[in-house]
Amino acid sequence: MSALYGADVSDTGEAMNVMNLDVIPPPSHAATDLNYEADLKTALDPILSELLDGAERAGWDRRKAAYAMKFLAARNLTDGKDPPGNGSSAG
């Protein structure tokens, strides 16, 4: 099992995998820096891979899971949430 996952216990007492998002490193560049996006992709890539692997292990089609994540990410941006105060150009 990856270091990105930890054990947690559901209400029924069953163990379940919970992704540890605390492993995402903070930005080392300003959002306006040319390296910011590349660093962000590097930071998120292993988490996205683990999420897709988990979906596939559970029986979901990997390509459809990736599409669903893309849809959910876009919806998350358009649900009226303010962009984070990190100088992001989103929105």
Residues facing residue 8 across a β-bridge: 16
Digit-coded pLDDT (tens) for 27-37: 999 999 999 99
Please indicate, yes or no, whether the overall pTM of this predicted structure exceeds 0.85: no
> Collapsing DSSP states into helix, strand and coil, what is residue 17?
strand
User: Which residue's entry shows tokens 């292990």?
Assistant: 57
> Collapsing DSSP states into helix, strand and coil, what is residue 14?
coil
Count Cβ atoms below 10 Å from residue 90 Cβ, excluding itself: 10
Of the two residues 84 and 73, the one the predictor is more confident about is: 73
Predicted pLDDT at 36: 97
Digit-coded pLDDT (tens) for 5-27: 554 545 555 555 666 667 899 99
Q: Read off the pLDDT of each residue in 33-60 and give the average, rounded to a whole number.
A: 96
Q: What is the pLDDT confidence band of residue 87, given thresholds at 50, 70 and 90?
A: low
